[in-house]
Amino acid sequence: MKQLIRIGISCMLFGGFFTLLKGQEVLNAKNLAKWEPVIINFKGPQASSAGNAPNPFLDYRLDVVFTGPSGKTYKVPGFYNGDGKGNNAGNIWTVRFAPDEVGKWSFQVLFKKGDKIAVDANQKGSSVAFDGKRGKFQVDGVRKSAPGFYPLGRLQYVGKHYFKFADGGYWLKGGADSPEDLLGYVGFDNTPEATHKYEAHIRDWKPGDPDWGNGKGKAIIGALNYLASQNVNSIYFLPMNIGGDGKNVWPFLGKVHRSGKPENDNLHYDVTKLSQWDTVFTHAQRKGLFLHFVLSEAEERNKRELDNAELGVERKLYYREMIARFGYHLALQWNICEEYNLQYDLTPDRVKQFAAYIQQLDPYKHPVAVHHASKVDNIWPHFYDERLIQVASFQTRKPDNVWIWRKKSAEAGNPQVIGLDELFPDVADEKNVSRYRREYIWPIYMAGGQTELILAELLKTEDFRKYEGHWANLRHARSFFEGNLPFWEMHHMRGMMRGEDYYEGINGVCFSTVFAKPGEVYAVYFPRARQTGELDLRGISGSFTAKWYNPREGSFEGPEKRITGGDWVALGEVPSKPENDWVLLLKK
């Protein structure tokens, strides 16, 4: 008689259902749609998150091989999931998967037991419980009414300077870089050093939004709602900051010395807390918020917390748990370390070793970044041609670094997505909204980059409304790029302007910038527009429609006009307030 193994396959967005696996047949699998999460819960050995004989995180290895209609396969790591309801004891083992094809899918389970087998890919181990079982399920087409990223598919690095959705267009980041200890939230279980309450955002929680513990989740869910309402599209956070600045976030179960100590137990994970984290991450994806995972922090004790800064058992397990539990989300990146070279230098070789391990383990090949301190020119020569690193996470106040390293990485055959992720110590506050727009936001986008804003309150950030002017600036800039430009085909163009005005920022003089697909479309940003000068259209035939965009209000103003190429062309006066910044759009 064939063994019956109960599994649950659920579509998280539109209800769930329970199925029964018998031999190779899955009954009642329905309502699955492309890109929406498929979650399979297996009943296996009884265990506890605190267990050591065996340790359910380390001494079992669950992988599920999914095969799509085209024959493409994904080997997806699974994880111990307590009772499957957010509690730390039980017999549920889970895999989360995001199917990318319509049609009939099959899967085979690989479930092995052995000493530290979870971090030893070469160890065969012994077969246990549901190892070898197979199943099938049907996936329907994209659900156009699905929220957030789900109709668009996985956000991918596609060998260009911008990410692209598998079933959608290119993406331009405009995110929040603070607080880095976003997850140091009082509503999460087993977060004894939590400092964040986000009380100002309780009012942003809406009926039907997720929650837990009778209101414990409302404030952080409300904060995400607010950011999404401002069209912010990325959040930045550390899953583990032991020994770092905040010392208030970790995924581990046991008592932790928050300043970092070798005796900390980094091999047992808190199923309850991680389930709550995933509720937050899922809501973020529903709201169109990209997940910027920053896996380590600048401080030496944080870097040394796992395996004394090497790629050992603790770090491998940490990466596996993050990928297994959260890698199914569609829009995210793994950032190896904040300021990898500050205080204790991880070295480029270690960074690349860590990146290789993540790439090997992540079935979806989410993009990998690394963040740095000190001058870009001293650091990025180690990484611009490294194919394991698809994203530059720069800490600099010089937007010119975007086009410089775009060009160098492209010439090396490794065109990177360039992000100015921290402008520290020049933080965004309520008084520098205009200057930030003129000195950073528009110059970064016009250089072909991405950005996220580091906020003045840093780890003390509680109310994102304080920065509404900055969110508006990001929103208006992205709206211009996304609604009017084939920005993924455009480049920063130097030497195309003369006679224009300039703006004096705190880091130097800001001149006009040109972003163009030559002969077809040009955007010209003026940080001050008392004189708009001339644009070099020599060798360009035909005429263009020209209209002025107000980056402070996010709207076009004044009448359109026609501009003819073939020579240096005067661009004329702006509609109003020439002491302010303006953008001119020219399109054939």
CATH number for the domain harbouring residue 522: 2.60.40
Cα dist. 432→177, 209, 214 in Å?
17, 34, 39
- Structural domain includes residue 149: no
Average pLDDT over residues 26-39: 78
Collapsed DSSP state (helix, strand, coil) of residue 326: helix
Collapsed DSSP state (helix, strand, coil) of residue 83: coil
φ, ψ of residue 252 to 5 degrees: the values are -85, 160
Q: Look at residues 169, 168, 170 and name the one whose alpha carbon lies nearest to residue 448.
A: 170
Give me the pLDDT at residue 517, please.
98
Please determine, for residue 484, whether its predicted confidence score (pLDDT) is greater than 50. Answer: yes
- Residue 14 is part of which domain span? 4-139
Average pLDDT over residues 155-169: 98
Please determine, for residue 454, whether its predicted confidence score (pLDDT) is greater than 90. Answer: yes
Is the same domain home to 531 and 570?
Answer: yes
Share of the chain above pLDDT 70, in %: 95
Is the same domain home to 308 and 270?
Answer: yes
- Structural domain includes residue 208: yes
Is the same domain home to 407 and 285?
Answer: yes
Query: Which residue, chain included where needed, has tokens 């920065």?
Result: 467
Please determine, for residue 15, whether its predicted confidence score (pLDDT) is greater than 50. Answer: no
Give me the pLDDT at residue 19, please.
37
Give 243-262 as a DSSP string. Answer: TSSS-----B-S---TT--T
Is the same domain home to 342 and 224?
Answer: yes
Query: Which residue, chain included where needed, has tokens 């840093």?
Result: 458
Please determine, for residue 411, whether its predicted confidence score (pLDDT) is greater than 70. Answer: yes
Give the span between the Cα atoms of 303 and 295, in whole angstroms. 10
Give the span between the Cα atoms of 9 and 106, in whole angstroms. 13
Q: Are strands 417-422 and 450-453 parallel, antiparallel or unpaired?
A: parallel
Is the same domain home to 326 and 356?
Answer: yes
Q: Residue 243: count other Cβ atoms within 10 Å of its Cβ.
A: 21
Give me the pLDDT at residue 402, please.
98
Centroid of chain to Cα 452: 11
Q: What is the average pLDDT score of the chain?
A: 94
Show the tokens assigned to 141: 């087409």
- Structural domain includes residue 570: yes
Cα dihedral across residues 33, 239, 201, 171: positive or negative: negative
Cα dist. 551→252, 258, 282, 442 in Å?
45, 44, 32, 9
Kindly report, residue by residue over 465-482, the tens digit of the pLDDT: 999 999 999 999 999 999
Give me the pLDDT at residue 31, please.
79
382 CB burial (10 A radius; 0-12, 13-18, 19+): middle
Give me the pLDDT at residue 154, please.
98
Query: Which residue, chain included where needed, has tokens 């995210």?
Result: 332
Task: Locate all alpha helices (DSSP H) within 336-432, ordered by sequence.
Answer: 347-361, 376-379, 400-411
Please determine, for residue 170, whether its predicted confidence score (pLDDT) is greater than 80. Answer: yes
Collapsed DSSP state (helix, strand, coil) of residue 515: strand
Virtual torsion, Cα 422, 428, 432, 433, nearest 10 deg: 100
Q: Residue 280: count other Cβ atoms within 10 Å of its Cβ.
A: 24
φ, ψ of residue 468 to 5 degrees: the values are -60, -35
Show the tokens assigned to 275: 């389930």
Is the same domain home to 173 and 310?
Answer: yes
State how many domains the chain has: 3
Is the same domain home to 517 and 375?
Answer: no
CATH number for the domain harbouring residue 72: 2.60.40.10
- Residue 547: what residue type? K
SS3 of 90-127? EEEEEEEECCCCCEEEEEEEEEEECCCHHHCCCCCCEE
Q: Look at residues 95, 496, 119, 40 and name the one whose alpha carbon lies nearest to residue 325.
A: 95
Give me the pLDDT at residue 416, please.
98
Kindly report, residue by residue over 489-537, the tens digit of the pLDDT: 999 999 999 999 999 999 989 999 999 999 999 999 999 999 999 999 9
Kindly report, residue by residue over 412-453, the tens digit of the pLDDT: 999 999 999 999 999 999 999 999 999 999 999 999 999 999
Is the same domain home to 420 and 391?
Answer: yes
What is the pLDDT confidence band of residue 263, given thresholds at 50, 70 and 90?
A: very high
172 Cβ neighbours under 8 A, 6+ residues apart: 162, 445, 450, 478, 481, 482, 487
Question: Do 543 and 563 contact (CB within 8 A), yes or no?
Answer: yes
CATH number for the domain harbouring residue 458: 3.20.20.80
Question: Do 466 and 434 contact (CB within 8 A), yes or no?
Answer: no
- Residue 454: what residue type? I
Is the same domain home to 226 and 164?
Answer: yes
Is the same domain home to 187 and 52?
Answer: no
φ, ψ of residue 581 to 5 degrees: the values are -90, 150
- Residue 471: what residue type? W
Query: Which residue, chain included where needed, has tokens 């527009």?
Result: 529
Give me the pLDDT at residue 29, please.
56
Q: Are strands 368-371 and 332-335 parallel, antiparallel or unpaired?
A: parallel
Centroid of chain to Cα 80: 25
Give the span between the Cα atoms of 273 and 87, in whole angstroms. 9
Helix (H) or strand (E) segment spanning residue 509: strand 508-510
Question: Do 525 and 484 contact (CB within 8 A), yes or no?
Answer: no
Kindly report, residue by residue over 379-392, the tens digit of the pLDDT: 999 999 999 999 99
Residue 545 forms beta bridges with which residues?
562, 587
- Structural domain includes residue 551: yes
- Structural domain includes residue 528: yes
Average pLDDT over residues 531-560: 97
Collapsed DSSP state (helix, strand, coil) of residue 191: coil
Kindly report, residue by residue over 91-127, the tens digit of the pLDDT: 999 999 999 999 999 999 999 999 999 999 999 999 9
What is the pLDDT confidence band of residue 25, given thresholds at 50, 70 and 90?
A: very low
φ, ψ of residue 215 to 5 degrees: the values are 110, -5
- Residue 572: what residue type? G
Average pLDDT over residues 341-363: 98
Show the tokens assigned to 519: 């002969």
- Structural domain includes residue 150: no
Show the tokens assigned to 323: 């990928």
Give me the pLDDT at residue 14, please.
41
Is the same domain home to 442 and 296?
Answer: yes
Show the tokens assigned to 523: 């955007």
Is the same domain home to 63 and 36?
Answer: yes
